[in-house]
Every structure is written in C-alpha cells, then in structure tokens.
C-alpha cells in the first residue's frame, strides 16, 4: 500500500506511463477530465481499476467507476477507501 502522500504522484505516474507514454507530467493537470480528453476510455478504466486495487489494496465498486474522471477524483476515491 502506498502512503497517502504518494497517492497522487503514483496515480499520475501510472496514467502517464499507461495511457500517455512519452508525455511530461506537466502536460496534464490533476483536474483534467481524462474521459472527455479521450485519455481513459471504457477499456482503460479497467486497467486503472486493476492498478488501484493492486497498488493500494482496495476494492473499487461498480458505482465508483463514474468518479474516476481525473487524477484528483481518483486520488479522492483512493484516500476515502484508505481512511
């Protein structure tokens, strides 16, 4: 499990490596809509959930999937489950 202070950076690193290879971390804001920006689609959200569950030892429920739209929202979901 990642410490809370590293959640946001771990999520951002995963998204950059998995969905935006070669992109710089400064190119995507924490509030950018990953779905509307066509960075995360219905297939990629499954990879994102797998990353979240494996790295943070949490379970992402079906009704939480719609919340996974930005790095900030993803971080919030993870923090909520860890606290």
Q: Is the model's pLDDT at 4 over the cut of 70?
A: no
Specify if 48 maps to a domain.
Answer: yes
pLDDT of 2: 52
Is 21 inside a domain boundary? no
Asked if pLDDT for residue 5 goes beyond 90, the answer is: no
**Structural domains in the chain (count):** 1
How many whole angstroms separate alpha carbon 1 and alpha carbon 4? 9
Range of the domain at 33: 4-15+27-82
pTM: 0.90
CATH of the domain at 44: 1.10.1200.10
For the segment 17-63, what is each residue's pLDDT rounded down to a tens digit? 999 998 988 889 999 999 999 999 989 999 999 999 999 999 999 99
Does 22 reside within a domain? Answer: no
Residue 43 lies in a domain: yes
Is 53 a domain residue? yes
């Amino acid at each position: 499990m990642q410490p809370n202070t590293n959640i946001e950076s771990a999520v951002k690193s995963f998204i950059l490596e998995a969905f935006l290879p070669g992109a710089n971390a400064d190119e995507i804001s924490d509030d950018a809509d990953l779905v509307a920006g066509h960075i995360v689609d219905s297939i990629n959200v499954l990879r994102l959930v797998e990353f979240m569950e494996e790295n943070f030892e949490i379970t992402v429920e079906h009704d939480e999937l719609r919340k996974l739209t930005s790095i900030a929202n993803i971080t919030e979901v993870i923090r909520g489950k860890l606290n």
